[in-house]
Chain A
Amino acid sequence: MHHPSYLGVFLTFARNSLIRDMTFRANFLIEGISSVSWMIMNLGFYTLVYRFTPSIADWDKYEFFVFISTTMFVNSLVQAFFMPNAQELSELVRTGGLDFALLKPIDTQFLVSLQRVNWASLGNFFVALLLLAYAVPRIEGFELSPWHFLLYPLYIVLGVFILYSVMIALAATSIWLGRNQSLYDFWFYITNFSRYPMEIYEGTWGTPLRQLFTFVVPILVVINVPARIMAKPLVSDQVFLASFAMLATAISLLGSRWVFKQALLSYRSASS
């Protein structure tokens, strides 16, 4: 009868996080500025590269800028909503703070996944919007269609869900391991793999790697699928990968939920 209002709870989390961020204003600003400048430096680097080559693995300059802005959208969303929580989970397990989450009449995974919102990370979201608006009209032969407005955001969200699943499943293992602080390293490897067009993984080593990170741990579809939808012509050979991405999202979410629940069963709290 009394279901908690998940939206209401989430908005309160977002609000409380904002209040907190505002009390540490200087920190908030520095964080926002540093992550934005890091992305701008990245962009400068690729501009430099494109001075020497017309295309990388079939992606020309403006197409690749679309790819980069897609990376920025996905990363900023994950870092704003999920990253701080996944990191916090390991700490909650170690200190026994997870006890309180388990007492609340609300889904525990929801609670620990969304408690904190890191608003400063959304700075890159707006940089990405600007970059997208700049690059898209400059792509040769690009024709905007309603499909772009529908599919692009949809696949960005699906990509965020895939990364979230991998992240929360990994963080949940800290319930078994007692501690798991490799999250940042892991995140670094993952984003390093996923932030290039999948065509570059080719050859004796490349192809198996691409297949592994597409079909087993589906992190290559996270950015590639939405980026292609926006940057490449919408043709039928995208359909296979796009359908697969949907399936992969569903499986990742269900799989990570299963891992999380299993891990919770063996939670042993901390003494005292």
Chain B
Amino acid sequence: MIKAGAKARGQQSSKPCPSTFRPDLYPDAHWSAYNLLIMSAIKIRGLKKSYRVYRKKEGLLASITGLFQRDYREVDAVKGIDLDVEQGEFVAFLGPNGAGKTTTLKLLSGVISPTGGAASVLGHTPWLRENEYRRRFALVMGQKNQLWWDLPAQESFRLHQKIYRIDSSEFQRTRDELVDLLEVGQLLGQPVRELSLGERMKMELTAALLHSPDVLFLDEPTIGLDVIAQHNIQKFLKHYQAMRKITILLTSHYMKDVAALCRRVVIIAHGEIVYDGSLAGIVDRFSSHKVLTLHFAEERMPSDLARYGEVLEIVEPKAKLRVDRSSIAKVLSSVLANHAVEDVSVEDPPLEEVIADMFALTAKNQADKVAAESLTPSP
């Protein structure tokens, strides 16, 4: 066995640069070795999580009978997803409410254990909760805070220093750097309960980054913040990621966050990954139409615009039409042939709209599927 392994490695080293992992060459290779080879920071295979929830019935009598006979229902929060994230990538994780984003991040942080599947982050299985792993990542949740409520943030930072055993000079340097970048230096001595939401979020980020994690999970870090505070946090994250080259997985419902930060977007809906690619690609893939804006030169607008496409808006002498992607060229040439047009623009619909449409579509598909399932008679 050992001999075979050594031989395999010998063969491997004679090749200049192995681009793919060959399990046949490394029969006893460990996952972490695999990770080193392909530099993937996060590797998820068939990850599943379902929750058994107690279905409460209405009314007092039903609650009492519920004490003796419980009615359970399985909620499939994550339904076997596959995902690879390379070291240094900044990936956005989008999806409608209840899609399973937070559940995935909790699985990857080892807060909860999966019902099935595998995941490896930096070569560790998260839910084994090994200290070596826990020292290398951080999770920030926008809706929750981990700082001591009644104490100034600096006291919580000091506690982190002790828990992660960061040496004093290193700790001071990192803290000062983060605090400078986030511009919260003068607030360090103020009890956390007296900070605004935005200020508190910055403190949470500082606390999470004190131990210089290699992987960072951000669950809606900008939730509830105003535009300026959102922008500040985006700026910080962008700068920090560019500087440290750490791997970040971010969930957010604000497209601005995503557009500012992430080149790669993963969309999850109902526990399944439905898209993985660039932000711009979402529009190509999911939007079936373009928005055509016409600026007419004539005094009178043509009254029969509806034959070119769905009229979105008319403010004379301008009109906005929604036109099928496939027929845009045909429509445009016929408009230009029939009317005097001063200016034309063809645009993709706004990203928010495309994503909202897509979420609505997946929700509908899901509902249809559930309805179909419940119609089929059970044996």
* A interface residues with partner B (beta carbon < 8 Å): 2-5, 8-9, 12-13, 16, 19-20, 23-24, 95-97, 99-100, 102-106, 108, 111, 265, 267-269, 271-272
Q: Are A16 and B148 in contact (CB under 8 A)?
A: yes
Q: How far is the CB of A59 from chain B (nearest CB, A)?
A: 44
* Interface-facing stretch out of B61-69, B158-166, B316-324: B158-166
Contact A2 B134 (CB under 8 A): no
B41 close to chain A: CB less than 8 A: no
**Per DSSP, are chain B's interface residues mostly helix, strand or loop, or mixed?**
mixed
A4 to B132 CA separation, bound complex (whole angstroms)? 11
Q: Which residues of A contact B163 (CB under 8 A)?
A: 4, 9, 104-106, 111
CB contacts (< 8 Å) of A267 on chain B: these are 111-112
- A16 near B151 with CB under 8 A, answer yes
Q: Which of A9, A16, A103 contacts B138 (CB 8 A)?
A: A103
Q: Which residue on A lies nearest to B106, using beta carbons?
A: A269
Instruction: Let me know if A268 and B134 touch, CB within 8 A.
Output: no
Q: Could you list 20 A-B pairs, sorted by A, with CB under 8 Å?
A: A4-B163, A5-B162, A16-B148, A16-B155, A16-B159, A19-B155, A20-B148, A23-B150, A95-B144, A99-B111, A99-B139, A102-B111, A103-B109, A103-B138, A104-B163, A108-B129, A111-B163, A268-B112, A269-B106, A271-B102
Q: Considering the chains assembled together, what is the distance between the CA atoms of A99 and B134 in angstroms? A: 12
A97 to B149, CA, bound (A): 13
B141 at interface, CB cutoff 8 A: yes
Contact indicator A2/B112 (Cβ below 8 Å): no
Contact B111 A13 (CB under 8 A): no
The yes or no answer to B110 lying at the interface (CB within 8 A) is: yes
Chain A residue with the shortest CB-CB distance to B112: A269
Residues of chain A contacted by B162 (CB below 8 angstroms): 4-5, 8-9, 12
Interchain CA distance A265-B111 in the complex, whole Å:
10
Which bucket holds chain B's interface residue count? 20 to 34
The residue in chain A whose Cβ has the minimal distance to the Cβ of B158 is A12
A272 to B132, CA, bound (A): 27
Count A/B pairs, Cβ under 8 Å.
Answer: 77
A97 engages B144 (CB within 8 Å): yes
**A105 engages B148 (CB within 8 Å):** no
B135 near A2 with CB under 8 A, answer yes
Contact between A3 and B165, CB atoms less than 8 A apart? yes
Q: With A23-B150, A106-B163, A265-B113 given, is the CB distance from A99 to B155 under 8 Å?
A: no
**Can you list the 10 inter-chain pairs with the closest CB atoms, starting with the nearest?**
A105-B134, A100-B146, A105-B131, A105-B135, A8-B162, A9-B162, A99-B111, A20-B150, A12-B162, A12-B159
Min CB–CB distance B63 → chain A (angstroms): 15
Q: Is A104 in contact with B134, judged by CB distance below 8 angstroms?
A: yes
Query: Contact between A99 and B165 (Cβ–Cβ < 8 Å)?
Result: no
Contact yes or no, A268 B51, CB < 8 A: yes
B131:A106 contact, CB within 8 angstroms: yes
Chain B window 116-128, contacts with chain A (Cβ cutoff 8 Å), 1 for yes, 0 for no: 0000000000000
| Closest A residue by C-beta to B52 | A268
Give A3's nearest chain B residue, CB to CB. B165
Closest residue on chain A to residue B143 by CB atoms:
A272
A16-B155, A99-B141 known; A5-B165 Cβ under 8 A: yes
In the assembled complex, which residues on chain A have CB atoms less than 8 Å from the CB atom of B102? Answer: 271-272
Whether a CB of chain A sits under 8 angstroms from the CB of B88 is no
CA distance A95 to B165 in the complex (A): 28
| Residue ID in chain A nearest B102 by CB atoms | A272
